[in-house]
Amino acid sequence: MRRIWRPLVMTSDKLASAYALERRSPYLARDLIEFSYRLPAEHKISDPAQGKRILRDAAKALGLPREVWASRDKLGFASPVPAWLNSTLAGWADAQINTALADAPAAFRPLLEGGLTPGSRFDRTRMQALRAAAWFSNQTGCRNDPQLPH
């Protein structure tokens, strides 16, 4: 498994560079990934506009200058999908999620319910809820009509 990472990362870097995009995948250590998934959300992002809270806190604690840990000169490349799901496709998204919620087990409900509240342009909560709704509908044989608005 570890052997496949190097070519994938190198290919990703080369493709991104071909289109003048900065694409980095620095956090591939399994222990670090597992640790980050165990952290409560408030330790990762306290203010969505700020992002990377734990990294900023660590840089600040190490005594790095404010220009380093408070820098906002780089922004992510935002997909238009969250904006679509919060505007043009909001009714459709809510219908898909609510259909799945009608029969969803209790453990599955928080994931779906999280998608009923619109988020920021970087927020993927609604998209994750839609994927979960589609998966749940597929698993249960429930017909969740995916017709998009015109």
**pLDDT tens readout for residues 41-74:** 777 766 666 667 788 888 899 999 998 888 776 5
Looking at the structure, do residues 47 and 70 belong to the same domain, yes or no? Answer: yes
C-alpha span between 128 and 115 (Å, rounded)? 7
Question: Is position 148 within any domain?
Answer: no
**The last residue of a domain, from among 57, 77, 97:** 77
Question: Is position 146 within any domain?
Answer: no
C-alpha span between 68 and 59 (Å, rounded)? 8
Domain of 135 in residue numbering reads as: 81-140
Looking at the structure, do residues 88 and 115 belong to the same domain, yes or no? Answer: yes
Question: Is position 150 within any domain?
Answer: no
Pair of tokens at residue 57: 């806190």
Looking at the structure, do residues 34 and 45 belong to the same domain, yes or no? Answer: no
Looking at the structure, do residues 87 and 115 belong to the same domain, yes or no? Answer: yes
Please tell me the pTM assigned to this model. Answer: 0.49
Of the listed ranges 41-45, 79-83, 110-114, 121-125, the least confidently predicted one is 41-45
C-alpha span between 73 and 89 (Å, rounded)? 31
Specify the number of domains making up the chain: 3
Looking at the structure, do residues 136 and 85 belong to the same domain, yes or no? Answer: yes
